[in-house]
Structures are given as C-alpha cells and as structure tokens.
Amino acid sequence: MAIKAFLEQRQGHIVQSGIPQCSRPTIPGVMSQRACTYYGARWVLAPVRNSTHIVHAPADCAYYGQNVRKKNYLILSTDMNEKDVIFGAHEKLERCIEEAAKIFPEHSMIFVYSTCTSSQIGEEIKWVVEKVKEKVQKPIIPVEVPGFGGFSQSDGHHIAQKAIISYLSEYCKKESTQPFSVNIIGEYNVAGETKVIKKLLKKIGIEVICSYTGDCDADLMQKSTSAALNLLVCKSSGLLLAQFMKERYSIPFVDVSFYGLSNTVNSLKKISKFFGIEHKVEMVISEEYEKIRDKLEKYKKKIFGKKAIILLGGSRIGFMAGAFKEAGLEICVCGSQFGCNIDYEAARFELPSALFIDDFNCAEIEEILLRIEPDVFIGGTREWYLAHKFGVPFLVFPQETKPYACFEGFLNMCEDLFKEIHAPVWRLI
C-alpha cells in the first residue's frame, strides 16, 4: 500500500506531455537529489571576489559550503556547539565578524549566513550585523538561508539575489549611463565561460561591466549601475536582480543564452538591435562559425541520433535542451531537480515528445537507464557514478573541462560528447 501511495504521489511529476508538477516539497522519505537553500545561496555568492563569508552554524555547514562547482572558496564559521545552542551565540558571532574584519582588511564586504541550527534557536543575525557595523566600517550583508527556508537550492538563489539587492540599495548609487555597455546576470564563469562571452561581445563593440557573480566585486557592482542594458542568462538566479535594477537604476534587461549556435546567434541579434549595431553582427557570426565549422561537422556526424537523457538543476534546461538537440542528440528524457513552470515550458517547446521528470531520485534514474538504454547521460556529479555502473557514458554539467558558451564553447561541448560516447572503455561492456 505504501508503494502504491508513493507511485500515485509521483505520477504528476513524471509526464510524457505537458509539464510536470514542480516547485513543490520533496515527498517525505524520497532520497531527493536536491540541495538546501544555504547551498543555493553559496552557488550565487561564493564567487564574489574580495569578500569575507561567515557561516553562523556548526563547522559542518562551512565545510559543505566551501566547494562550489568543484572550486574551493574561503569560508569562515562560528563553529556553534552544544553550549551555543542552549544559551545562544550572539556574542560569538559578533566577535567573529570583528575578528574576520581585522584578519582580512583588504576585503570590501562581509556576508553572514544563518543556517538551520542558528535559525532554529532564533539567532538574530540582522541585529548582530547592525550592532557591529560601526566597529567594522565596511558593508555587512546578512543572508538568512536555513535549510528549511525553501523547497530546494532554488530558494537559496532568490535569497542570495535579495542579499545583493540589499547591498546595491544601501551602497550603490546610479552612475551616468555608459554607452554600449552591459551587465551579465546569472552567469557564474563555469570553466571560464565569462571570459568567452566577454570576448564575443567585445567583437561587436559591447563592453561587459559586471558579471553577477562570475566576475564580480564591490567596485564592479558600483560601476554596474552605469550599464545601458542587462543580459539575463539565468532566470532562477537572476530575475529578481534584473527587475530590481530596472526599477531602481532604469536599466532594461533582455533574456539571452549563449549555449548552442542558434541561442548565441539570436542573443547577439537581440543585443545588437537594442544598441543599433546590427551591421556588425552578421560579419562576426559568419567569422565565428567559419572557425569551428569543419571540426564541428566531424563531431556532429559521430554523435547524431544518439539517445540521451538530460537531468539538470533546473533554470537552464530549456536552453540546454535546445543546445544538445542542435548537436544532434535524440533526447528521450529531460528532467530537473528544482525547475519551475517557465523552465519546463521552454524545455517542452524544444522537446515536444520527451519524457519529463521533476525532482528525480536514484530509484527513478535506475529505472530510466534500464528502460531507455541511452547512449549518453547528461547530468550533475551526483548521478555520475550511477551512470557508469550501468555502463552508460556520462557528461557532467555544469562542466569541469572547457567553456560550453558561444561558438567555441559549442564546439567544446560536441567534442566532449564525442569523447564520452566513443571512449574505448565502453567496448569492454
């Protein structure tokens, strides 16, 4: 009976047409692939340069939050213990903030996180922050992200955006608009992608001021208020910030994507139309495509028609589904850990007949692998070894090798797909 009830509950989350039920709590008892809101906030805030990060929690949370996208970031902890939980640790947090400011005087700002333990006992980090602001003499931004504060890491993305917004509201005034300049919002410089995007935009005469948060610090945040346009590449981790900057600083924004040739070309045309430089774009597009055409065709021939399943985080599944489809893959299953209706609608537009699954778990992944028998599995590191145990090639995304953005990134992606699918080891199985 319990199994039957569970299957009925999951039925709406796995669909062959339309979009699945989403943005809901994980069914109790299911070993979900989701992370907590705290880690979602770290995903957004960790890359901010010249900033101190203090976690008001047991040391475990700092250990968990130091590694983001396979990169270790400096993070400090108040190391709450049993005594702190019983009697409170406001004074301990206050001392930690003051000490951190002395140890890292070169850092421009301090982020203070509350997690499950400190939030459960009612620790008021905002009150502590206000108390020590005058002593520290630098911006201190509270980030309240207990694990129970949302359904998944996606809620942490939103809280992190609000933290950035609070900093901009208090410390960054509107600068005079700089012509032919943009900010990129929702871009985290995975494997150096920010550099690739900036190089491409520079070719059409566009300067990137600040990339939130892949190429970001306090000075760039201040300068970002002078941008003429914001490029929103990830709604889940950037929409609130883009809307705020539109209202506060009168900076419009457009949705773009630099994954896949079609998405990149369409994005360049959107940007050039806004700035009235359409004449530059066609030549750049032609030049960039010519550089990769021969190698790209070679790889696409080798991966064309291969069956794939794509299980990603959520916010970019539409763009990525289009990019992998453009590479020639037949995408049989598409899913996300924390996608919303907008994400699934974009993905469904690209994949009208694929099976969609929301908040997938290990048991369902095993069943999919047995039934579909895909040629390649594209997903996060949690699913990596499971796929290999089933003898299925696996491509990690976010990737750990080379940029996948823009023209050269699309070639990199196709090359990595080719290497995974046709690796000699699979001949032994």
pLDDT of residue 1: 44
Q: Which one, of 11, 12, 7, 14, lies nearest residue 29 by Cα?
A: 7
What burial class does residue 255 get, using C-beta atoms within 10 Å of its C-beta: 0-12 exposed, 13-18 middle, 19+ buried?
Answer: middle
pLDDT of residue 229: 97
What burial class does residue 105 get, using C-beta atoms within 10 Å of its C-beta: 0-12 exposed, 13-18 middle, 19+ buried?
Answer: exposed
Q: What distance in Å separates the CA atoms of residue 11 and residue 13, rounded to the nearest whole number?
A: 5
Neighbours of 423 (CB within 10 A): 10
CB-based contact 173:225 (threshold 8 Å): yes
Instruction: Please give the CATH architecture assigned to the domain spanning 304-398.
Output: 3-Layer(aba) Sandwich (3.40)
Task: Please state, rounded to an integer, the average pLDDT across all residues of the chain.
Answer: 92
- What does the pLDDT look like over 207-259, one tens digit per residue? 999 999 999 999 999 999 999 999 999 888 899 999 999 999 999 999 999 99
Per-domain residue ranges of the chain: 37-171, 181-282, 304-398
* pLDDT higher at 261 or 32: 261
CB-based contact 110:78 (threshold 8 Å): no
C-alpha distances (whole Å) from 210 to each of 108, 170, 215, 218, 220 are 16, 18, 6, 10, 5
Q: Encoding tokens for residue 331?
A: 């995408």
pLDDT of residue 280: 86
Q: What distance in Å separates the CA atoms of residue 7 and residue 177, rounded to the nearest whole number?
A: 55
Share of the chain residues as helix, strand and coil, in percent rounded to the nearest 5: 50, 15, 30
* pLDDT higher at 322 or 381: 322
Query: Residue 142, preceding bond cis, omega within 30 degrees?
Result: no
CB-based contact 95:77 (threshold 8 Å): no
Helix (H) or strand (E) holding 135: helix 125-136
Q: How confident is the model at residue 313 (pLDDT cuts 50, 70, 90)?
A: confident
Backbone dihedral angles phi then psi of residue 313, each to the nearest 5 degrees: -70, -65
Helix (H) or strand (E) holding 297: helix 278-303
Q: Encoding tokens for residue 303?
A: 């991966």
Q: How confident is the model at residue 4 (pLDDT cuts 50, 70, 90)?
A: low
CB-based contact 400:380 (threshold 8 Å): no
Torsion of CA 18, 24, 29, 32, to 10 degrees: 70
Neighbouring-strand partners of residue 212:
185
Strands ordered across the beta sheet of 14-15 = 14-15, 355-358, 330-336, 307-312, 376-379, 394-396
Q: Encoding tokens for residue 139?
A: 């911006």
Q: What is the CATH number of domain 37-171?
A: 3.40.50.1980
Rg (CA), the chain: 23
Q: What is the CATH number of domain 181-282?
A: 3.40.50.1980
- What does the pLDDT look like over 324-371, one tens digit per residue? 999 999 999 999 988 888 889 989 999 999 999 999 988 899 999 999
In the block, residue with structure tokens 């209706």:
341
Neighbours of 83 (CB within 10 A): 10
Q: How confident is the model at residue 35 (pLDDT cuts 50, 70, 90)?
A: confident
Distance separating the N- and C-terminal Cα atoms of the chain: 38
Question: 253-255 and 109-114: which strand pairing?
Answer: unpaired
Handedness of CA 209, 339, 144, 38 (dihedral sign): negative
Instruction: State yes or no: pLDDT of 390 exceeds 70.
Output: yes
pLDDT of residue 315: 66
Instruction: State yes or no: pLDDT of 2 exceeds 60.
Output: no
- What does the pLDDT look like over 104-146, one tens digit per residue? 999 999 999 999 999 999 999 999 999 999 899 999 999 999 9
CB-based contact 395:376 (threshold 8 Å): yes
Q: What distance in Å separates the CA atoms of residue 219 and residue 112, rounded to the nearest whole number?
A: 20
In the block, residue with structure tokens 């992944």:
365
CB-based contact 132:100 (threshold 8 Å): no
Instruction: Establish whether domains 37-171 and 181-282 are of one fold.
Output: yes
Could you give the percent of the chain with pLDDT greater than 70?
98
